[in-house]
Chains A and B, each alone.
Chain A
Amino acid sequence: MRVVLTVNGSAFELDVPPRRTLADALREECGLTGTHLGCEHGVCGACTVLVDGEAVRSCLMFAVQCDGRAVRTVEGLERDGLEHPLQAAFSAEHALQCGFCTPGFLMLVAGALESDPAVLDDPQRLRELLTSNLCRCTGYEGIRRACERVRGLRPPLPG
């Protein structure tokens, strides 16, 4: 099937089988390998991307469902060569070790910053947000601290 995905502002015209997941289309057809696959059944969240601003598991969506929609991946976090504040915060707080789950966490929190930044002001809501994704290396504390670090910065995130 022919679809057009707008990924990080660029249009990708793809011809994909109906069963191809968004994650595989991003990685294989679009060449954007920053989106990682950790479980392929929607639990670990490593493949989290934003579709029309909403955080989704790209392993649970088909590419054809995204025809005409705007997708943002970790490769689209930087603006004009400048790191997104979350990226700097993740490094500053040692919120990553192996880095495999990191793009998913970044997109999860970036999506929240964009749509509902108050999540970061409430420790309980932040904890619930971070519970969406799995990390096996850090024990989550660095990730939590990184989120606190960007609280109040609330950068605009044009889609």
Chain B
Amino acid sequence: MIGARTLRREDARLVRGAGQYVGDIRVRGCLDAAFVRSPVAHGELRGVDLSRVRAVPGVVAAFAHADLPYLPPTPPMLDPGSIEGRPWPPLATGRVRFYGEPVAVVVAGDRYLAEDGCDAAVVRVDPLPVLLDPTEAAAGGVELFPGLSNVAAEREFGAPAGDDVWRDAAIVVEARYRQQRLAHTSIEPRAILVRPEADDGLTVWVSHQAPHRLRRDLAAAFGLEPDRVRVIVPDVGGAFGGKSETWPEYLAIVAAARRLHRPVRWLEDRREALGGPPHGRGQHQRVRLAADADGRILAYELHIDADVGGYPHTGAFVPLATSMMATGAYRIPSVHVRTRAVVTNAAPTAPYRGAGRPEAAFAIERTVELLARRLGLDAAEVRRRNFIRDFPYETLTGFTYDSGDYAAALEVALRELGIEHWRAEQARRRAAGAWPIGIGLCTYVERSGVGEEFGAVEARPDGTFVALSGCCSTGQGHETSFPQVVADVLGVDPALVRLVEKDTAVVPSGVGSFASRSMQTGGAALHRAATKLVATARQRAAEVLHVPVAGVAYRAGAFVADGRSVPLAELAPLRAEDTFDPPEAFPFGAYAAVVEVDPELGAVRVLDLVAVDDYGVVVNPLIVEGQALGSIVQGLGQALYEGVRHDADGRPLTLSLLDYLLPTASELPPVRLAETRTPNPNTPLGAKGAGEAGCIGVPPAVLNAVADALGLDDPQDPRMPVAR
């Protein structure tokens, strides 16, 4: 059961087109909404005239901020300090701070008519100077929020190394890196359908990762008791961090539905999705690293200017995750991180698959490889000399790594890659003047999980079991993997266990699915709940059998004592719950890439890619390998193809999928997966979390390989223009 490659239950409906995504739900009388959006990236909003909109046939209503003056401000996701004095009105008022910021919502009989209505809106904006570079924005001059710094949050971790460390070190490596903005691009964009209920409550169907948080936010925003708001998450067409938030559009749709007493839905289109929010990444990084002549790292310094876009509500905390993972897999005696979350006139950022850890791994892994190059040492050997080897390990940035064997993962990667073969091929090509190839490594550590999660297991009289989880599958396959965990504890056929999640009226509490936390936290909560269920039932069984509790054995759905047996089903209904708050876990791994570079066109082809991941205990290898492959290709997108671009006025240039290039089947390189397995010592299940590793490991490995191929000593980002 745990460890079985069970095929997914979800597939039966999804391959028949019988899944139900928000756009597939039919609610009687439901209207479609579309948004009028800011045509400029920064400006004073002088007027919004919707009179012609309301005259468009089929338009039911149109609202600007002035029509819904009671609209609550957008709540922050985390880090509330960053939004002090920087309110984000769901419909703009006063100022617009990014291209595409919602200015008005138009509600009509269908979306064609709603968009006709949007076309008739007149929006007057007096443009202001546009800031797109976070370092420039931090320097001031133009203030996005008058009277306030553009630096919404500034934090330090660790302490600066003394001047003597930098002066006396055998070598000091300095570099700057840019983490470009990425678009999440779940194939299903954001979607919400709100039905106002007769009791003043709301039923909300939404494509989301954290339904209980959305319920809390909507209830607080509209002054409702939380139990008056029911959030249901149907099938979700991918999320990747962009569906965890309480977005301004959601508040506007709720307000419109309540005003009209009609169900209203908003199905985001691709142009809106690519324009953002959300976007992910977006950091300028400056690093300095001191080492001795053997490559032992003495000090590491990382300065981050994070471009969090026009409002810091959803992105300001992401660079904190980067900061806390700054030193990666290495034991470094002196660490100093300074991070600034800076508002700019681009769309607000949000967590994107990896959420701060890819940025951290990129900086340290590029820099370690640069160190090796400068010293003329083997990059794998420099890593070995610096790996953390004793666990638990407390980092200078505030985390405790639970367990690991980083050197073992690296050895597997080198062996699987066949590094000797590739080094020989590299030398042969150099001698022959052929297109160069390069080899790049990345040994990453990531953090998975954060906070608590709810799990419950219920035994039913018919011999089946219901598992309830506060997690929220967005395509991973919880309906298959969570029952495997419960069935393993109970010793029953997984087919007898059915999962219920994603409905706040049925699951009393929950946090959701992000940060690779579902199995690490939610799976462990179910494991504990199932264990509790057996303990509770054992007491009851002892009562039935008139024997001491200690004399009752549990085997495969039944209790036995003195040769007599009581099936668990006869004791049903019985239910056990658990809310589990384990410490963060620290999965790790080693990636190795071989690339070929066309030196004239700059085109990069990945010839070989090995991913060694340590997720702790793996419940369903089929699903986990799927997560690995999917995140590897997203990481490849970041490394070589994807990037949000703007013109000088802050208008996005990547508003179609012909301009924002996702990897296709033609970009899929040969990939080999391997594993080491170091169980999580802090949970009974032992899972560490999976899902984001490829986005963390691939970009540094591929770019290190490009630098190796071109013999680049130049520390600038070697990302090349790519011909496809």
Please list the residues of chain A having a beta carbon within 8 angstroms of any beta carbon in chain B.
17, 19-20, 27-28, 31-41, 43-44, 46, 73-75, 77-78, 83, 87-88, 90-92, 94, 96-103, 106, 127-128, 130-131, 134-144
Return the chain A residue nearest B273 by Cβ. A39
Closest to B186 in A: A136
* A78 contacts across to B, CB distance below 8 A: 16
Where the two chains meet, the residues of B that have a C-beta atom closer than 8 Å to any C-beta of A are: 7-8, 10-12, 14-21, 23-24, 26, 110, 112, 185-189, 235-238, 240, 269-270, 474-477, 622-623, 625-626, 629-634, 656-658, 662, 664-666, 668, 671
Contact of A134 among B12, B269, B632, B664 (CB under 8 A): B664
Given A43-B658, A96-B15, CB of A128 within 8 Å of CB of B666: yes
- Could you tell me if A73 and B270 are in contact, using CB atoms closer than 8 angstroms? no
* Cβ contacts under 8 Å, A144 to chain B: 665, 668
Q: Which residues of A contact B632 (CB under 8 A)?
A: 139
CB–CB B629/A100 < 8 A:
no
When the two chains form their complex, are residues B17 and A137 in contact, meaning their CB atoms are under 8 A apart? no
Question: In the complex where A34-B16, A35-B17 touch, is A97 in contact with B187 (Cβ < 8 A)?
Answer: no
Known contacts A33-B24, A98-B475; A141/B15 CB under 8 A = no
- Which of the residues B17, B240, B270, B631 comes within 8 Å of A38, measured between beta carbons? B270
Least CB separation from A129: chain B residue: B665
**Is there an interface contact between B186 and A98, defined as CB atoms closer than 8 Å?**
yes
Residue pairs across A and B with Cβ atoms less than 8 A apart, 5 shown, are A17-B112, A99-B14, A101-B187, A127-B666, A139-B671
Selected contact of B23 from candidates A33, A75, A102, CB within 8 Å: A33
A98 contact set on B, CB distance < 8 A? 186-188, 235-238, 474-475
Question: For residue A43, which residue of chain B has the nearest CB?
Answer: B657
Shortest Cβ distance from B5 into A: residue: A94
Known A-B contacts A38-B270, A41-B270, A41-B656; the reply to A91 vs B188 at CB < 8 A is no
Bound-complex Cα distance A32 to B26 (A) = 12
Chain A residues whose CB sits within 8 angstroms of the CB of B21 once the complex forms: 33, 36, 100
How distant is the Cα of A136 from the Cα of B629 in the complex, in angstroms?
11
Min CB distance, B378 to chain A, in Å?
30
Contact of A99 among B7, B10, B110 (CB under 8 A): B10
Q: A131–B665 contact, CB under 8 A?
A: yes
- Most B CB contacts (10 A, CB to CB) among A97, A131, A134, A138 go to A97
Contacts of A134 in B (CB 8 A): 187, 657, 662, 664
Asked if A44 meets B666 with Cβ closer than 8 Å, knowing A102-B14, A139-B630, the reply is: no
The residue that A94 contacts in the complex, of B237, B623, B671, with Cβ under 8 A, is: B623
Chain A nearest CB from B644 CB (Å) reads 16
Residues of A within 8 A of B112 (CB): 17, 19-20
Contact A94 B625 (CB under 8 A): yes
Assembly CA distance A134 to B714 (angstroms): 35
Instruction: Give the contacting residue for A91; candidates B12, B237, B633, B662; CB below 8 A.
Output: B12
Evaluate contact between A92 and B7: CB separation under 8 angstroms.
Answer: yes
Query: In this complex, what residue of B is CB-closest to A134?
Result: B662
DSSP majority for the A interface?
A: loop
Contacts of A40 in B (CB 8 A): 269-270
B664 to chain A: closest residue by CB: A131
**Considering the chains assembled together, what is the distance between the CA atoms of A101 and B21 in angstroms?**
12
Do B187 and A136 touch across chains, with their CB atoms under 8 A apart? Answer: yes
User: Cβ of B23 and Cβ of A99 under 8 Å apart?
Assistant: no
- B665 smallest CB distance to A (angstroms): 4
Nearest residue in A to B666 (C-beta to C-beta)?
Answer: A131
Bound Cα distance from A98 to B627, whole angstroms: 11
Is A141 a contact partner of B629 (Cβ separation < 8 A)? yes
Determine the distance from Cα of A66 to Cα of B483 in the docked complex, in whole angstroms: 45
Closest approach, in angstroms, between the C-beta of B638 and any C-beta of chain A?
13
A90 to B8, CA, bound (A): 11
The answer to whether B15 touches A87, judged by C-beta atoms less than 8 angstroms apart, is yes
Residues in A neighbouring B666, C-beta threshold 8 A: 127-128, 131
Tell which of B185, B240, B475 has the most Cβ of chain A within 10 Å. Answer: B475
- Give chain B nearest CB distance to A58 CB in angstroms: 13
Q: Tell me the complex Cα distance, A143–B626, Å.
A: 11
Do the beta carbons of A73 and B188 come within 8 Å of each other?
no
Nearest CB of A to B95, in Å: 31
Q: Are B17 and A74 in contact (CB under 8 A)?
A: yes
Provide the residues of chain A in CB contact with B186, threshold 8 Å. 98, 100, 136
CA distance A136 to B110 in the complex (A): 28
Residue in A closest to B8 when the chains form the complex, CB atoms:
A91
CB neighbours of B475 from chain A (8 A): 97-100, 137
Contact for A140 among B26, B188, B668, CB less than 8 A: B668
A141 close to B671 (CB less than 8 A): yes
Q: How far is the CB of B194 from chain A (nearest CB, A)?
A: 19
Are A97 and B656 interface neighbours, CB within 8 A? Answer: no
Given A98-B186, A98-B188; A32-B629 close (CB under 8 Å): no
CA distance A126 to B112 in the complex (A): 37
Chain B CB within 10 A, most for which of A28, A98, A134:
A98
How many Å from the CB of A8 to the closest CB on chain B?
Answer: 11
Q: Are A139 and B187 in contact, CB atoms less than 8 angstroms apart?
A: no
B238–A94 touching, CB < 8 Å: no
Decide yes or no: A39 and B657 within 8 Å by CB, A20-B112, A97-B475, A136-B185 being known contacts.
yes
Most buried by A among B11, B236, B656, B657: B11
Residues of B within 8 A of A131 (CB): 664-666
Contact among B26, B110, B188, B630 for A36, CB-based, below 8 A? B188
Report the minimum CB–CB distance from A61 to chain B (whole Å).
16
Residues of chain A contacted by B189 (CB below 8 angstroms): 38
